[in-house]
């Protein structure tokens, strides 16, 4: 690409090796979650939330289980101020939920912030100022000492206003644009703020290290976090928080590695809504933990309902392939994937106590409110016999023989390919019935009776071209006798009769289902299915269906010749 020379690495590695995080295999417990949907997320919307929409969104976050929720920047606008006052005055904040507000390190903004917080039972006051090289040089044109003074003076003002405001307050500081700041300088400014606030076991302080703009690979951020964690003053009384954005598409990776490196708290949003490419997606992070057997301490058991409220309020659309929440993330169209998934589910039926390890499906969709029907296996021209057969079995109770599944799979794929569309399960069922079930043309089965001596003798009543006749046949079993009667009467030759039967376990439980496959002289298998309350009737109907498919496919004279003699 052109102009690549204008770009360089604008981040800073720690001055010493910080790689202890790399020796850890996985995250063992959930972090403290702080939703910033109502601040970062809201300011990123084309049309920001109204007051009533904010109140509804706040309740959604409470219902999910967030214990810390950033509700806005109350000094920034009257809408933000009014929202915070509504939460406090209408007593909408549960006792176990702490609200968080954002403020710049400027006295009139800090004063307005605490005015808005009056009467809050407990709140986090989030103080920030920008510290990066780019911000210092281009925006503020200030020295490092000038930037430190902004942070320290703000920390003192927050302390002063908290002391004279009703309520209980936790202090939080962010060196905004941390990822573009020299790590030693970020440490110095955070420690200077900690020196002001003097955290204790009873009054801990939050130091938040944001990926305001993502500049590096995730492992660099992890090393930065580890260095800060190892060198912060009064570390045992500091809650180390991270706030990743997603400019490079690595927000989730940044977060997970940062947790390994000493992070204890994450600020993010539902489905990653936020400025530019967004904040880190808490849904993905939480369910990633869940997939490793770690309780995320958030309730995402009904993702579809959460998604519906989110999309309605934000006017945003979650991408169909978005992890966990997207409509297609559990869906397989590929034939080989469908076959593996179907066999995986079948295996779980016999091993219900085993850990989840179904191929291609990272967690059980049912655990987050998704359905197997329409969510897991969907059918188009790329699908295979395994997935198509699985859907037919799961939804309608038809367990086709393997070779019949293959034959049916080709039929379904041909329809999908010809019509250039995905097929719904009802359409697949219609193809199955039309292709195989109780076929009565051109040879219609009416009745039968048997006589048993050394062999079975059948007397079979049939109709063809509106003409009724009774034919006879002998065989070593009843179905064999009927088969011989048909072959003799109509001069049909086939071999290798395959037979299978089972009770229909879905729908009408009184029905029996039979499948018959017969191989013609050219080696082609023709299949039929029979459904009836009586198992013998179902078997005979399956045989007639297979024979009718054979005579139609081979263009036997009885198909087109209405004068074909029955006598």
Three state DSSP letters for 299-310: CCCCHHHHHHHH
Per CATH, the number for 444-560 is 3.30.160.270
- 245 touches 279 (CB < 8 A): yes
Local structure of residue 50 (DSSP, 8 states) = P
Farthest CA pair distance, the chain = 111
Cα separation, 311 vs 239, in Å, equals 32
CA gap 514, 52 in Å, rounded: 60
Give the bridge partners for 175, in sequence order.
129
Q: Within 10 Å of residue 517's Cβ, how many Cβ atoms?
A: 21
Cβ proximity of 550 and 520 under 8 Å: yes
Q: What is the DSSP string of 311-360?
A: HHHH-----TTSTTTSTTTT-B-SHHHHHHHHHHHHHHHH-TTSPP--TT
3-state secondary structure of 421: coil
What one-character DSSP code corresponds to residue 5? G
Tokens 């169209």 found at: 333
Q: Which residue has the tokens 């029979």?
A: 530
pTM: 0.82
Burial label for 427, CB within 10 Å (0-12, 13-18, 19+), is middle
The kind and range of the H/E element at 552 are: helix 535-553
Q: Which residue has the tokens 């794929």?
A: 413
Q: What DSSP string runs through 139-194?
A: II---HHHHHHHHHHHHHHHHHHHHTSSSEEEEEEEEETGGGS-HHHHHHHHHHHH
Fold of 48-314: TIM Barrel (3.20.20)
Q: Work out the angle at residue 485's Cα, subtended by the Cα atoms of residues 479 and 488, and round it to the nearest 5 degrees.
A: 140
Whole-number Å distance between alpha carbons of 242 and 460: 80
- Compute how many other C-beta atoms are within 10 angstroms of the C-beta atom of residue 263: 29
The token pair at 73 is: 């920047």
pLDDT tens for the chain, 567 residues long, are 999 989 988 999 999 999 999 999 999 999 999 999 999 999 999 999 999 999 999 999 999 999 999 999 999 989 899 999 999 999 999 999 999 999 999 999 999 999 999 999 999 999 999 999 999 999 989 999 999 999 999 999 999 999 999 999 999 999 999 999 999 999 999 999 999 999 999 999 999 999 999 999 999 999 999 999 999 999 999 999 999 999 999 999 999 999 999 999 999 999 999 999 999 999 999 999 999 999 999 999 999 999 999 999 999 999 999 999 998 888 877 767 777 888 888 899 899 999 999 998 999 999 999 987 666 766 665 665 667 777 788 788 899 999 999 899 888 888 888 888 878 888 889 999 999 999 999 999 999 998 877 788 899 999 998 899 999 999 999 999 999 999 999 999 999 999 999 988 766 567 899 999 999 999 999 999 999 999 999 999 999 999 999 999 998 888 776 555 554
Tell me the backbone φ, ψ of residue 464, rounded to 5 degrees. -145, 130
Cα dihedral: 561, 482, 409, 370 (round 10): 130
Distance between CA atoms of 379 and 183, rounded to whole angstroms? Answer: 53
> In the chain, what are the domain boundaries?
48-314, 335-435, 444-560
Do the beta carbons of residue 257 and residue 222 sit within 8 Å? yes
Give how far Cα 250 sits from Cα of 98, 221, 223, 317, Å.
28, 11, 15, 20
């Amino acid at each position: 690409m052109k102009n690549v020379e204008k770009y360089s690495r604008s981040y800073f590695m720690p001055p010493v090796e910080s790689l202890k995080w790399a020796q850890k295999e996985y995250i063992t417990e959930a972090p403290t979650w702080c939703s910033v949907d109502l601040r970062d997320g809201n300011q990123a919307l084309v049309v920001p939330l109204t007051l009533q929409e904010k109140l509804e969104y706040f309740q959604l976050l409470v219902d999910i289980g967030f214990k810390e929720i950033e509700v806005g920047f109350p000094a920034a606008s009257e809408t933000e101020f009014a929202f915070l006052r509504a939460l406090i005055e209408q007593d909408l904040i549960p006792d176990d939920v702490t609200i968080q507000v954002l403020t710049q390190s400027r006295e009139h903004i800090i004063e307005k912030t605490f005015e808005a917080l009056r009467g809050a039972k407990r709140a986090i006051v989030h103080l920030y100022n920008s510290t990066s090289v780019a911000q210092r040089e281009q925006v503020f044109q200030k020295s490092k000492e000038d930037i430190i003074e902004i942070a320290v003076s703000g920390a003192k003002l927050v302390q002063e206003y908290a002391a004279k405001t009703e309520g209980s307050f936790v202090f939080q500081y962010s060196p905004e644009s941390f990822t573009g700041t020299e790590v030693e300088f970020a440490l110095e400014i955070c420690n200077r703020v900690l020196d002001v606030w003097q955290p204790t076991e009873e009054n801990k302080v939050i130091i938040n290290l944001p990926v305001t703009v993502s500049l590096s690979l995730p492992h660099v951020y992890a090393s930065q976090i580890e260095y800060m964690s190892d060198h912060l003053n009064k570390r045992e009384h500091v809650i180390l928080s991270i706030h990743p954005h997603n400019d490079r598409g690595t927000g989730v990776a940044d977060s997970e590695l940062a947790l390994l490196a000493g992070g204890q708290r994450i600020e993010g949003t539902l489905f990653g809504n936020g400025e530019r490419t967004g904040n880190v997606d808490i849904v993905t992070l939480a369910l990633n933990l869940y997939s490793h057997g770690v309780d995320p301490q958030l309730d995402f058991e009904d993702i579809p309902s959460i998604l519906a409220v989110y999309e309605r309020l934000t006017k945003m659309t979650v991408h169909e392939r978005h992890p966990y929440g997207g409509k297609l993330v559990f869906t397989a169209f590929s034939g080989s994937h469908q076959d593996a998934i179907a066999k995986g589910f079948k295996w779980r039926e016999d091993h219900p106590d085993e850990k989840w390890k179904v191929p291609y499906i990272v967690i059980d969709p049912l655990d987050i409110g998704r359905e197997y029907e329409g969510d897991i296996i969907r059918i188009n021209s790329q699908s295979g016999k395994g997935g198509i057969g699985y859907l037919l079995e799961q939804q309608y109770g038809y367990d086709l023989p393997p070779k019949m599944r293959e034959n049916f799979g080709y039929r379904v794929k041909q329809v999908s390919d010809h019509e250039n569309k995905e097929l719904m399960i009802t359409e697949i069922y219609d193809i199955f019935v039309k292709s195989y079930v109780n076929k009565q043309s051109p040879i219609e089965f009416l009745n039968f009776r048997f006589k048993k001596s050394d062999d079975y003798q059948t007397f079979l009543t049939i109709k063809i071209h509106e003409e009724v006749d009774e034919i006879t046949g002998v065989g070593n079993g009843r179905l064999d006798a009927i088969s011989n009667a048909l072959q003799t009467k109509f001069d049909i030759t086939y071999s290798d009769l395959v037979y299978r039967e089972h009770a229909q376990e879905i729908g009408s439980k009184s029905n029996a289902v039979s499948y018959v496959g017969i191989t013609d002289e050219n080696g082609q298998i023709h299949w039929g299915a029979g459904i009836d309350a009586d198992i013998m009737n179902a078997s005979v109907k399956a045989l007639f269906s297979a024979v009718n498919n054979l005579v139609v496919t081979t263009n036997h004279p009885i198909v087109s010749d209405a004068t074909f003699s029955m006598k």
